[in-house]
Structure 1
Amino acid sequence: MKKFAFIIQASNNELARALHGLLYAQELNEAGHEVTIIFDGAGTTWVKEFEDPSNPYNPIYKAVKKLGIIAGACEYCPSAYGVADEVKKAGPTLGERNGHPSVAQLVADDFQLIIL
Structure 2
Amino acid sequence: MTKAAIVILAGTDGHANVGRVVNGLETAKEFAETDGDEVELIFDGAGTQWIPELEDEDSDYHELYQAVRENASACDFCSGAFGVADAVADAGVVTLDDHEGHPSIRSLVDDDYEIITF
Query: TM-score scaled to structure 2, two decimals?
Result: 0.91
Percent identical across equivalent pairs? 43
Equivalent residue of 2:40, what SS?
A: strand
CA distance in 2, matches of 1:69, 1:80: 22
Q: 1:29 aligns with which of 28, 32, 38?
A: 32
Deviations 1:78-107 (A, max 9, x none): 111111100112211000001100001000
Corresponding residue for residue 7 of structure 1: 7
Answering whether residue 94 of structure 2 is matched by residue 92 of structure 1, we say yes
Unaligned residue ranges in structure 1 (runs of 5+): none
Residue 49 of structure 2 corresponds to 45
SS of corresponding position for 1:76: helix
* Residue 41 of structure 1, CA deviation: 0.1
Q: Which region of structure 1 is more displaced relative to structure 2, 30-39 or 93-102?
A: 30-39
**Structure 2 equivalent of residue 54 of structure 1:** 58
Instruction: Please tell me whether residue 78 in structure 1 is matched to residue 99 in structure 2.
Output: no
Per-residue Cα deviation, 1:43-92 (whole angstroms, up to 9, x for no partner): 00000110011111111111221xx222x100000111111100112211
| Count of aligned residue pairs for this structure pair | 113
Structure 2: runs of 5+ lacking an equivalent: none
Q: CA RMSD in A?
A: 1.0
Question: After TM superposition, which residue ranges in structure 1, 4 or more long, deviate above 6 angstroms?
Answer: none
Greater shift, 26-35 or 14-23, is seen at 26-35
Q: Which amino acid aligns with 2:102?
A: H
Contact residue 3 and residue 39 of structure 2 kept, 8 A: yes
Displacement of 1:39 after TM fit? 0.3
Does the Cα contact within 8 Å between 2:32 and 2:68 map onto a contact in 1? no
